[in-house]
Amino acid sequence: MEDTTDNAMDGVREASHVSASAQEELSFFVCQQCRYPIVSESEILFDKAEIFTDQVYSYEMEVLVDKTAWCYSATNPGAHRFDVLRIKKPPHGRVSFDGLPTLEHTWFPGHKWVYCQCGACGQHLGWGYCAKGTTEEAGAAGPDSTEPAGNNGSLNMETSASQVYPAEPNVLQPPQNDLHEEQEPDNPAEDEVVFCGLILTRLAPQSLTAADMATFDATLVRAASHSHLFQQHMQELVELLHSVPTVVVADYIPAVLELNVSPAARLRSEAVLDSVRSVVEEYLREQNVVADEARVGAQHVEEGGGRSDDENRSSDGDTSDGDQH
């Protein structure tokens, strides 16, 4: 009996420890646009990296924790300046990479670069850097473009539906993955990303628990499985929004914009579509009633010899007054 009691108490203590660990808060940088976790404090590279000093200078700054990390203020050939933090390659799914690796205008000697985007919303976060190759390119430093080609990042709110929603829907498809962490090889291939340089102004500090992370990851997986249906919903939304004046659907524009940047919102895309469809259909019904009334009025004018009902009534009144005299 005593052994059974001890075992039960051990089980309670273990469960309490697991529960406490799940609720322990850790410091993260999240995507400034969609708030998806990108990098934890343990994934920051605190050491100083070799740079091209003609366009980059390094400085120390406290980030997330009371620990100083080397950051890099870098200018690309387009005169865009970025404050960049180096991090380890994030676990699979948190970011995605785009473009062909190139040494052109690299900030870190010998490291080819590609674009790095948020794995949840597609916002351009910075650049991924490949394993150092044998050929180094000196000269101008910095990736030569601010955004990746065809970047599906944040949308700018404008006054017309055609500007907010382009002819083709701005669909941000979540990555098709299981979000399991990748194992780094001992000798990574030259063109495999081994670290990232993320733009500090596109990140936001946030405290998260293990339970929070599990929720984020589960939501992203659900959004990925929902992506085909989400694209269909977005296609119909674009068509509906183009069919009416912007003022008719103005109340729903924030919700539609959120679909582009939030995996959790994408799971509600059908509800948003139903609401917008209802408003558009009601507006079109009202427009049809107005058009029908206008046609009936035009027919009456034509049948009355080109005179409107008011003119006919006025003429009848004049005749009646004449008969009394």
List the structure tokens of 99: 């473009």
What's the rounded Cα separation, in Å, for the pair 66 and 44? 13
Mean pLDDT rounded to a whole number for the chain:
76
pLDDT attached to residue 175: 35
Count CA within 13 A, CB hemisphere, residue 98: 21
Q: DSSP string covering 203-260, please?
A: EEEEEEEHHHHHHHHHHHHHHHHTHHHHHHHHHHHHHHHHTS-HHHHGGGHHHHHHHT
Least Cα distance to 144 among 74, 53, 93 occurs for 74
- Render pLDDT for 173-221 as a digit per residue (tens, 0 to 9): 333 333 333 344 444 555 799 999 999 999 999 999 989 988 888 888 8
Highest mean pLDDT among 51-55, 133-137, 150-154, 320-324: 51-55
pLDDT attached to residue 313: 56
- Render pLDDT for 38-51 as a digit per residue (tens, 0 to 9): 999 889 999 999 99
Instruction: Identify the DSSP state of 187.
Output: S
What's the rounded Cα separation, in Å, for the pair 30 and 33? 9
Confidence of residue 264 (pLDDT cuts 50, 70, 90): confident
- Give the helix ranges, DSSP H, for the chain: 2-23, 161-164, 210-225, 227-242, 246-249, 253-259, 263-266, 269-303, 309-324
pTM of the model: 0.62
- Render pLDDT for 8-35 as a digit per residue (tens, 0 to 9): 445 444 444 445 455 788 889 999 998 8
Higher pLDDT, 303 or 101: 101
